[in-house]
Amino acid sequence: MFPGKIGAFGALEDHCVEQSGGNHRHRLKRPHTKSRRGCFNCKLRKVKPAKCQETKPACENCLSRDMDCIYPPKGYKMPPELSTKNSSLTSTWQLSADRIAGDELRVFHHFLLVARPHLPYGSEGAWTSLVPAYAHECPHLMHAILSLGATHYALATPTGSHYTPMAISHRGKALRHLASALAHVDNCTDTVLDGILATCYTLVFQAYYMNDGLIDFAVMVRGCGMVTKHIQSRFQGSKMFLLQTPEQVSEMVAPWLPAEAHPNQTVLGPCIEDIDQLHPLLHSRSTREFFSALRNIYVALQLSVRNAFLCLTEVYTVWHTMENHGFMEFISSTNHVSRALFLHYLAIDTLMRPFLVRVRERQPPTLPFGVDVVDQWAHAIYSSLPATIQVLVKHEIDLISHEKSSVCFNIRAGLLIEEHLDGCQDNPQ
C-alpha cells in the first residue's frame, strides 16, 4: 500500500502523501483519464482509479468503497484549488470569496461548538483555546479543523451535503501539509510537534465520520501514539495537551465508569469463542498482539467495564508500536485475518460506546453518526472476507447490526442516544 519510507513516521507520512494526491504529477500528464462529469468523490479524493464511471445512481468506485455517491449539480465547476492545472472544468463556475469565507467560518464555528475532539483525556479545554489559536499559524491543523467541521456539519444538518466537497478538499490539504511537516519532524520545535499531534487527533475524528475511513482512522490513531511518544522523548511533555500513560488515563476516567461487569453478558461468551477460532490463523506478531489485546477486553467486560477500558487502551498501544512494515501488512486489504480482528474491534467499540459517551465532557450527539459509520465499516469488512472467515465473525456482525437498528429506532421515536443507552443497561438483550 505504501512505498515504504525509512524512519519511525514513514507509514504515516506515506499515507498522507498517498491520500492527499501526492503523486499528482503523473495524473497531470494524462488529463484524459480524469472524469469531467464524475461524482465529487472521484474528483476530490485523488485515489486510483482516477476515472469515475459516471454510472447512476452510484459509480463503481463509490460502490466498492461503500461511499455516498454525490454528483455535482448541472453547471457546477470545481474551484481552481481543487482541480488540476489543465482541467477544462475551470470555465463554468466558482465560489465567491465571500461564500468560501462564510462557509469556512460556519464550519470552524461548528467545530468549536460540537465537532471538536475530546482527546487526549484531560485536555478538552485546549480545543477551544490553544488549538484554534495556533491553527491560524499552522496550515495542516487549520485544514484538518475545517475538514472535521465540514464533515460533521454535512452529517448534522438536513441540507449539509454540499459541505462534503469542502470536507474532502480540506482533508487533502491537511494531509499534504502534514506530510511536509513530518518530513522534518526530527528537527522541529515543541510547538510544531504539538500542532502535528493536534492535526493527527483531528483527522482521527474526521476519519470516524467517513464511510470508508477505517484505515485512515487506524493510521491516524497510530500517528497520535507515535507523535506523543516523540514529544515525551524530546521535550518530556506538551505545552498544548496533557499527555498521560494509559494507566494515568484509566485512573482519571475510572470514576466515570462502572466497576461492575458489562450488563449484556449473553453476547460476551460467543464473542470470546469466535475470536478464539481465529487463533490458529495468526501468523504474524502484529495479528497475535492485536488478538491478545482484543481478547483481554472481552474477558475484562465479563468482570468490570472499568478494567475493560484499560485493556482498550492497549489496542492503540499495539497499533503505534508496530514496525512500519508490519503495520502496512496489518492494514492490507488482503490480510483477511487482521480484517476479521478489526471486526471484533468494532464489536467491542459497539459494546463500549454507551460508557465511552459518558466519559466525554461535552454533550453526546443526538444523531447516531458513530453507530452508522461503524455499521458500514463492519459490513464492508464482512463482505470482503472469504466465506470460511465470514462464518467465524457472523455473531459480531449481527451484534453491530442489532445495535444500529436499536439506536436508529430510538432516534426515530424521539429519544436521545443517552436515554436509549440507559435503557439498555436496565434491560439487557
pLDDT of 258 over the 90 cut: yes
Residues 324 and 228 in one domain: no
Residues 231 and 250 in one domain: no
Percent of the chain, pLDDT > 70? 73
- pLDDT interval class at 401 (50, 70, 90): very high
pLDDT of 297 over the 50 cut: yes
pLDDT of 176 over the 50 cut: yes
Residues 284 and 177 in one domain: no
Question: How far apart are alpha carbons 297 and 319 in whole angstroms?
Answer: 16
Q: What is the pTM of this model?
A: 0.77
pLDDT of 46 over the 50 cut: no
pLDDT of 6 over the 50 cut: no
Q: Print the domain residue range for 186.
A: 10-33+99-235
Residues 292 and 148 in one domain: no
Amino acid at 63: L
**Quick one: pLDDT at residue 186?**
87
Mean pLDDT score, 35-42: 62
pLDDT of 250 over the 60 cut: yes
Residue 104, C-beta contacts closer than 8 angstroms, at least 6 positions apart: 146, 166
77 domain-assigned:
no
- pLDDT interval class at 57 (50, 70, 90): low
**Quick one: pLDDT at residue 30?**
29
Residues 258 and 222 in one domain: no
Residues 294 and 222 in one domain: no
Question: Alpha helix locations (H) across 260-335?
Answer: 268-277, 285-301, 305-321, 324-330
pLDDT of 140 over the 60 cut: yes
Summarised one tens digit per residue, pLDDT across range 70-125 is 666 554 444 433 333 333 322 222 333 344 468 899 999 999 999 999 999 999 99
Half-sphere exposure of 158 (CA within 13 A, CB side): 0
Between 94 and 189, the more confident residue is: 189
Mean pLDDT score, 141-168: 93
Can the peptide bond before residue 49 be classed as cis, meaning omega within 30 degrees of 0?
yes
**Quick one: pLDDT at residue 5?**
42
Residues 14 and 148 in one domain: yes
φ, ψ dihedrals at 265, nearest 5° = -75, -20
- pLDDT interval class at 59 (50, 70, 90): confident
87 domain-assigned:
no
pLDDT of 64 over the 80 cut: no
156 domain-assigned:
yes
419 domain-assigned:
yes
Number of residues that this document lists for the chain:
429
Residue 141, SS3?
Answer: helix
- pLDDT interval class at 11 (50, 70, 90): low
**Quick one: pLDDT at residue 189?**
95
Question: How far apart are alpha carbons 404 and 409 in whole angstroms?
Answer: 8
Question: How far apart are alpha carbons 180 and 192 in whole angstroms?
Answer: 12
Residues 116 and 199 in one domain: yes
Amino acid at 73: P
**Quick one: pLDDT at residue 20?**
65
Domain closes at, from 176, 205, 235: 235
338 domain-assigned:
yes
**Quick one: pLDDT at residue 56?**
72
Residues 114 and 191 in one domain: yes
Between 82 and 202, the more confident residue is: 202
Mean pLDDT score, 260-275: 97
**Quick one: pLDDT at residue 422?**
41
Number of domains in the chain: 2
Summarised one tens digit per residue, pLDDT across range 403-413 is 887 765 454 44
Residues 215 and 361 in one domain: no
Residues 250 and 368 in one domain: yes
**Quick one: pLDDT at residue 44?**
53
Domain closes at, from 207, 235, 263: 235
Residue 172, SS3?
Answer: helix
Mean pLDDT score, 193-203: 98
223 domain-assigned:
yes
Domain closes at, from 188, 210, 235: 235
pLDDT of 45 over the 70 cut: no
Residue 109 has which C-alpha cell? Answer: 464555528
Question: How far apart are alpha carbons 280 and 330 in whole angstroms?
Answer: 17
Percent of the chain, pLDDT > 90? 59
Residues 171 and 307 in one domain: no
Mean pLDDT score, 288-311: 98
Residue 377, SS3?
Answer: helix
**Quick one: pLDDT at residue 33?**
37
391 domain-assigned:
yes
